Structure 1
């Protein structure tokens, strides 16, 4: 499959470009970015071609991977779908439900496949754990902590990300937590509580269709020594913890590309398609609404 990359930022450089260039089932045709000089440099590093015109790239490929801020991603995804391109997207799909619905409508109208790259969902250990827990009944409660130190220590290239500064942990790591919990506990019936913590930290309480409730603590402001991820389920089967992943983002992204190839080849839609990305967006938007209403005016 001929594929192009939209985006030239740190995540495109660190994850998307290496994954596409090293995938045996993909022909990495070229890169387009909002900064032509960055597109040229990234393309040169991976032996492909820079494009000045996004529509020219869309005309030359069958699929695109999108590594752009979520608001820009949603608009670009609609444009690519209308051009007949399958979509390998990043989380969050969008930062409001209207944008997310536009992406889903565009994919359905064009008949193109979509996969949203929730990193944890494409880790073998996580995938196996989710499958095992989803087959068990009687989950009572869950606790998820996704704590990063992007704003609390040396956050590297992501510390200055404008959209992360604006939207915080809720929208950056919240999708990861939901991508793990939803396939096990079921859809979120309602966000029952949302409260702010230090920095961009947020605490959420969710009611799930399967009867369980869950609590989420999300932050990009944790001290480096306190950063980490933990997911715990408790129910009739006892207590289980999400296992650590042994591989990084690039192998996971290649598995996401495998999923896109399978879906584009006539297979069933992947569970992490644009429709799932929209549902995650809707839940986060409701949590954001509750957070805004709970914050004192002078905070």
Structure 2
């Protein structure tokens, strides 16, 4: 490998532009070598903006010709499996966006291939890098709530709200996605596993409240824009997750990502909304311990932000060893990495089980 990790980017979405490319460019050990997108003008524009030397419209050509060490896949999930498998067959380290795949069959295939290739593999579950969630993880690990009993996690967003024209989006198309339970649910399912461990049973209930138009007029197999998922953990704890894409959401509402987590010694009530809240980003943790009369604010310690501005929720991804920067550090220093493809596969199993539970009306055991 060269002095720097030569990275190729597949995908030209706003998330690639605003998150992945700046994070990679901020790492002194990474070299943004190539970018691939189906729209050559968009790909060229991003390449110019982020000083990427090579532009491709065919990801296999990029993998073959760009001289890469690693690749980032930030495309819709129906494309993850072929793109990741091609990169793994070429011996590249891979960072893949969530959810890892379109099905658990695919994600298991990807996990096995990554392990056989002996490369670093990572899934971009963004919450794990946010200071708010990292501190929440420590509070629970340090026993603030004692033995976990139950929790509920919510994330209502205003993605294409119901009062607007209903455009087609691949995230609502069951041919390309499993809907809200995958697009948003993957994040919260991963947080739940990260905090409470293995899931042994899954129950799901899903709806499609707004029916989008299909550009070519063909019938669309609809996924879901609202999903409830009940998780039973091996520890005996259980949790409810709700995600929704059609909410009337905005400043002034106490929405965003919220959680109430209770256990034998206390309760934590928390919310954060780094994606949609106006600056300063909403992030708060409140706790109440057994035997105490009044809940207390639990501000995130400054050490979790470092030199970054807490009002810029994603600044840590451009300065600390989290997200894409953790991926690069793991390659350079041969470090263990999490969340990896196994985490992505376990989340995919839960997503699949939730969809099957909804379709059959029965809980699914993992």
- Same fold, judged at TM 0.5 (above): yes
Choose which of 17, 21, 28 in structure 2 pairs with 1:24: 28
- What SS does the aligned partner of 2:240 have? strand
Aligned to 1:274: 341
Aligned to 2:185: 174
Choose which of 155, 161, 164 in structure 1 pairs with 2:169: 161
Aligned to 2:226: 201
Aligned to 1:97: 104
Deviations 1:16-54 (A, max 9, x none): 222223332211011012233322222122121212443
Aligned to 1:236: 264
Q: How far apart in 2 are the matches of 1:154 and 1:119?
A: 29
- What SS does the aligned partner of 2:267 have? strand
Q: Is the 8 A contact 2:197 2:234 kept in 1?
A: yes
Whether 2:240 is the aligned partner of 1:215: answer yes
- What SS does the aligned partner of 1:115 have? strand
Q: Is the 8 A contact 1:97 1:282 kept in 2?
A: yes
Q: How far apart in 1 are the matches of 2:168 and 2:15?
A: 13
Aligned to 1:189: 200
Aligned to 2:43: 39
1:9 CA drift (Å): 2.3
- The residue correspondences of 1:82-161 to structure 2 (distance < 5 A) are 82-136=89-143, 137-152=146-161, 160-161=168-169
Choose which of 306, 313, 317 in structure 2 pairs with 1:252: 317
Q: Is the 8 A contact 1:263 1:269 kept in 2?
A: yes
Aligned to 1:12: 16
- What SS does the aligned partner of 1:260 have? helix
Q: Is the 8 A contact 1:19 1:251 kept in 2?
A: no
Q: How far apart in 2 are the matches of 1:62 and 1:243?
A: 38
Deviations 1:167-211 (A, max 9, x none): 3210111111112111221111001x3223562211121101121
Q: Is the 8 A contact 1:153 1:224 kept in 2?
A: no
Which has the higher mean CA deviation after the structures are superposed, 262-271 or 17-26? 262-271
Q: How far apart in 2 are the matches of 1:185 and 1:197?
A: 27
- What SS does the aligned partner of 1:144 have? strand
- What SS does the aligned partner of 1:272 have? coil
Which has the higher mean CA deviation after the structures are superposed, 85-94 or 35-44? 35-44
Deviations 1:118-161 (A, max 9, x none): 11111122112113313434110011001111032699xxx753
**Structure-2 change in CA distance of 1:154 and 1:65 (3 Å):** farther
Structure 2 residue ranges without an equivalent (≥5) = 210-224, 273-282, 284-309
Larger CA Rg, structure 1 vs 2: 2
- What SS does the aligned partner of 1:102 have? helix
Structure 1 residue ranges without an equivalent (≥5) = none
- What SS does the aligned partner of 2:119 have? coil
Choose which of 253, 264, 268 in structure 1 pairs with 2:331: 264
Aligned length: 293
- What SS does the aligned partner of 2:21 have? helix
Q: How far apart in 1 are the matches of 2:163 and 2:121?
A: 34
Q: Is the 8 A contact 2:204 2:230 kept in 1?
A: yes
1:258 CA drift (Å): 2.5
**Normalization by structure 2: what TM-score?**
0.73
**Structure-2 change in CA distance of 1:235 and 1:112 (3 Å):** same
Aligned to 2:59: 54
Q: How far apart in 2 are the matches of 1:74 and 1:109?
A: 16
Q: How far apart in 1 are the matches of 2:314 and 2:89?
A: 29
